[in-house]
Amino acid sequence: MDNSVIVARLLAVVKPYRNRAILSFLTMAGTAVTEPALGRALQLLIDKGFGPHKVAFSLWLVPLILLTIFVSRGIFTFSTAYLNNWIMSRVLNDLRRMVFDRLLRLPVARFHDESPGKIINTVIAEVRNVVDMINSVFIAFVRDSLVIVGLLGMLLYTNWRLTLIALVVMPVTALIVRTTAKRLRRLSRDNQRVTGEMTQVVEEAARGHQVIRVFAGERYEKARFEQRSSAMLGFSQRMTVASAATVPITQTATAMAVAVVIVIAMSTDMSQGAFVSFIMMMLMLLAPLKSLVGVNGPLQRGMASAEIMFGMIDAPLEADPGTQVIQRARGHLRFEHVRFRYSINNPLALDDVSLEIQPGQTVALVGMSGGGKSTFVNLVTRFYAPESGSITLDGVPYEELTLASLRAQLAMVSQNVVLFDDTLGANIAYGEEKPDPVRLRAAIKAAHLDDVVAGLSEGIDTPIGENGARLSGGQRQRVAIARAIYKDAPILILDEATSALDNESERAVQAALDTLMAGRTTLVIAHRLSTVEAADRIVVLDQGRIVESGRHAELLALDGMYAKLHQLSFKKADE
């Protein structure tokens, strides 16, 4: 992304706070004025207070003038810091809000192609780098530039010939900055890539801590971490060298300019006050010049982060071309000659699949792993769109329905239960700002969670921890079932919904599910075939194709793939 485009977009983010930015600019201008004012005051003090040209004046003017300059400088500096923090805090929130809003609407495929660590790093670290860049660059290029302009103006006023000699520092500084900019940008990109990888390693280590301990993976995880850490150390050192090397070169050029100025000034009739003031202001130029050179590092790092950040903000949204809205569907689903593959390099996950599911019908999808069961569900939920063929709901093509309307018709219970670090009640009524207490109690009762709620210190208002860490596996699955019951959607998707339950809980929850499934279209994915024997229809998928379809007894009589799976299932159960 071109630098000018990045700058224009960042200015658009800052624009709502332009009034405060203008105030900050004025306070920085005030700070800049105090620099040459101090030099001028010292010149007058030395020329008029010492030597043969001494002028009588009240000594109280000396502390009054100096205090006025330094107190004013303190007020301006404090005001600048406060205003900049006020602006940057809100810019940081705005940018993170923009990134997170896009994150919530990215296609599902993006989360399969990109690691969670990289996404987390973009939302947290990259946005922070961008804001730090805005802050440091704004201060450097505004305040320090104003200080340099003010000091140069006073230097020209004091002795323009010597000032021209001093200006030799400027082109040297510009050349150094230009030379190091490209290298710093490239190193910043590489460093941020490795930072995202390290975030991923840490996130996986925290999430998979039990597996790491059971399978003695500490050494392996440590090696992964050390590899990224060593890479980051190398990038950090190279960036520091590239950035810090500019400072001694600039200081050397400045020292040479000061030395030449001193030699020339000693051969002129320049007054002592003017000479001291001139040298002092030249040395005062060093700090803002150093700051301008030093900002190159965070500037390039921030620009690289801005490319990543805007890359996510500009990422394509989940396709939602539909315009039709269904208030409550009957649940009539139809697949017609559907073909789908996850990428061009992958084989077909579904190949010419046609299937009609009547309203209220329970259809079980069974088959070996990789047969296409999960892909079928991914298309029903419209996480993906078919490569060819069509899917309709109540006769309306999927692509004509709005995503919100379609997904309002769906409830899903997966074997991989996802709970949020919130209260039990908020997890069951997830997605509603003001849950209905009557429906909430009914869902808890239907999912046989009464005993769980009774055992919690604050009932349904008890926080359950990250992903329900304070609940058992069976309790977590029952919370997911209660969530589906609460939503009361006309289409249910059950992906091994009772897999984590003990026998007693499974019977209780299965009874609740049987009640819930009545009158609803239900898709059941199951590996334990005993749980789907009562389905209205069982569809056997193999390598993306429907190879058998019928009721339990009919499929057993065929003595085909389902019969073999059934025998294998019960053999495993007996073992």
> Which residues sit opposite 575 in a β-bridge?
none
Q: pLDDT tens-digit profile of 440-474?
A: 999 898 888 888 898 888 889 999 888 888 888 77
Q: Give the full edge-to-edge strand order of the sheet including 350-357.
A: 350-357, 333-340, 388-393, 396-397
Q: Which amino acid does the sequence have at 133?
A: M
| Location of structure tokens 């091994």 | 496
The mean per-residue pLDDT over the stretch 340-353 comes to 90
The mean per-residue pLDDT over the stretch 40-58 comes to 67
| 200 has a pLDDT exceeding 70 | yes
**What is the torsion angle, in degrees rounded to the nearest 10, for the CA atoms of residue 114, residue 115, residue 119 and residue 124?**
-160
Instruction: Give the DSSP letter string of 504-532.
Output: HHHHHHHHHHHHHHTTSEEEEE-SSGGGS
Q: pLDDT tens-digit profile of 219-240?
A: 878 887 888 788 877 777 777 7
pTM exceeding 0.85 = no
In contact, 161 and 269? CB cutoff 8 Å: no
**What pLDDT shows up at residue 227?**
82
Higher pLDDT, 509 or 64: 64
Res. 49 pLDDT band, cuts 50 70 90: low
Q: Choose the weakest-confidence range: 103-117, 132-146, 200-214, 336-350.
A: 200-214
| Torsion-angle region of 28 (φ positive above 0: left; ψ -120 to 50: alpha; else: beta) | alpha
Nearest to 314 by CA among 105, 94, 91: 105
Alpha-carbon distance of 510 to 361, in angstroms, equals: 17
| 155 has a pLDDT exceeding 80 | no
Higher pLDDT, 254 or 426: 426
CA 74 to chain centre: 37
Q: Choose the weakest-confidence range: 182-186, 371-375, 439-443.
A: 182-186
Burial class (CB in 10 A: 0-12, 13-18, 19+), 314: exposed
The mean per-residue pLDDT over the stretch 128-156 comes to 80
Alpha-carbon distance of 121 to 197, in angstroms, equals: 9
Res. 180 pLDDT band, cuts 50 70 90: low
Tokens of 178: 């230009």
**SS3 (DSSP) at 363:** strand
Alpha-carbon distance of 136 to 302, in angstroms, equals: 10
Task: List own/partner pairs for 207-214 with CB under 8 A and 24 or more apart.
Answer: none
Q: pLDDT tens-digit profile of 385-439?
A: 999 999 999 999 999 999 989 999 999 888 788 888 889 999 999 888 888 999 9
Mean pLDDT for all residues in the chain? 81
**What pLDDT shows up at residue 394?**
93
**What pLDDT shows up at residue 262?**
72
**SS3 (DSSP) at 546:** strand
Give the 3-state secondary structure percentages of the chain, helix then strand then coil, rounded to 5.
65, 10, 25
| Phi and psi torsions of 429, nearest 5° | -95, 35
| 517 has a pLDDT exceeding 90 | no
pLDDT cut 70: percent of the chain above it: 82
In contact, 311 and 193? CB cutoff 8 Å: no
Nearest to 1 by CA among 312, 279, 292: 312
Instruction: Return the CA Rg of the chain.
Output: 35
- Domains defined for the chain, CATH in brackets: 3-313 (1.20.1560.10), 324-409+491-499+521-575 (3.40.50.300)
| 160 has a pLDDT exceeding 70 | yes
In contact, 203 and 152? CB cutoff 8 Å: no
| 376 has a pLDDT exceeding 90 | yes
> Which residues sit opposite 361 in a β-bridge?
none
Q: Choose the weakest-confidence range: 87-96, 134-143, 530-539.
A: 134-143
The mean per-residue pLDDT over the stretch 283-295 comes to 70
| 181 has a pLDDT exceeding 70 | no
Alpha-carbon distance of 6 to 10, in angstroms, equals: 6
**What pLDDT shows up at residue 54?**
67
| 379 has a pLDDT exceeding 60 | yes
| 359 has a pLDDT exceeding 80 | yes
Q: Which amino acid does the sequence have at 500?
A: A
The mean per-residue pLDDT over the stretch 249-264 comes to 70
Res. 502 pLDDT band, cuts 50 70 90: low
Res. 241 pLDDT band, cuts 50 70 90: confident
Burial class (CB in 10 A: 0-12, 13-18, 19+), 529: buried
Higher pLDDT, 436 or 164: 436
Res. 382 pLDDT band, cuts 50 70 90: very high
**What pLDDT shows up at residue 523?**
92
The residues, any chain, with a CB within 8 Å of residue 561's CB and separated by 6 or more, are: 367, 540, 542, 547, 548
| 175 has a pLDDT exceeding 80 | no
Res. 363 pLDDT band, cuts 50 70 90: very high
